[in-house]
Structure 1
């Protein structure tokens, strides 16, 4: 416990372990700022953000401004007199007027090894791009997009089979531990901020559903990386007989043929040719049907060798 007055800003599941760590340490979290409750799921039921749920469970005051840059939102946070603001996956850009409030600044927990993968979707893009390792970085926030001075880093290898969901869960815990260490060093005056080298950066833009469309002219490893990086959302997909085909798990193989063509289909999977090599589809879901392992899928949906799955740019029916 550092005795600092801390305002925590975060919204999704990824931020919860960090808030839980601050609570566990007995830190003085004077308020949590999170996004407004929003409709979710098929029933569009209005639900609170995960961070709000956790804060309420522990009796922490919750603020949910529609726009944190509005003067009244800034003044409400200023009135809390925080020594430090901790930000992780909040979901809104913080204005300079807010960044200037805490005497010790605003610390962000970012899910990449900065300066690589600045932006909204670093977890997805590091897997899609075939990175062998990633990690979390704490940084002092400035008005740029993930451009502030770096504080501490924690590095981890990416398992070749790991999906974004699995990596998300690991890095959320790593981020909590790193933030705790960062706060301790901050309180002890031992942090040494390091400028980012803009020449080493790359951008990780927010994902759109269409980013999940598989380009079968890519090599097998690239296709596999896309499937891993798009799981669980927005999901990798192609098209089979005019219907959307969602693909959740694949493994690479060494078959050859016209990109997107089915080489064979059986209980072990559906083998599809890529620009180089092939992939075995292991878990998939046809439009209007359940998500199934390949053995169950082919038992109910006959897929003949030579069937062509939609290539990139083919309209999705």
Structure 2
């Protein structure tokens, strides 16, 4: 597992590191980008700082198992709330991504080898936390022949072996140009398959340059073709300069792929080197997006300034199941 450096000059396992290493820029690959002013957050998007005893207990379990969480790596604003409830989204295959998306706070570079013990460590942490629903995501691993698909499958199987009642949600990369990769993950039968579009197609060149919009749509559609019992899910950020009609068209594209669940949240700029926030979308606009998306046929929609892919994932899974049963019972 890669070593992660925090702001106190320690790695995530508590080991002291040199001042030079601690001061090294987290995103050297973004150093060439011009600084962008970081907009002041409106009142509706501010959250309480983490630090409760339950939050500390979750942090301890994560550290003891040498795990990486997207909660920390992506600087999620909901970490205090989620870790208070012992909810954590585990990020597998290291902390270094092979892509350099302009919105993302995960560092870019050449990742290290896969940790063969990681599936067992993840399964142990899930059991210790007593999770009823767990979300597993990863960095992009374009360096691997299968994009890390078999590793995803191994993690799913390890959790099933130790916590058979825990429902599993995966948030995967796009497996671009990785023949047969998607099939490996679907064969492991996660309960929810999530792959985020992140933004509208017109913004891909500046926001998500390594990805292809219609490939991602096709990926989600293919999951349903392989196993229509698996719930599919996708999410976007708003505030990146997209037009309202582009968001509505994206909803239609997702429904054409039979996606069940959509999330919409406000983009928050991690540093001055990342894509700027073009505007803060108001809570009323998010409510409008939610209403429209539901009329388009999604089983469930989560749209708010602080919505993130994994936020309230367990509660949302229960709502998904109930909505499917209600629709089939008509």
Do the two structures share a fold, i.e. TM-score over 0.5?
Answer: no
Higher radius of gyration, 1 or 2: 1
Structure richer in helix, relative to its length = 2
**Higher RCO (CA-CA < 8 Å; seq separation 6+):** 2
More strand by share: 1
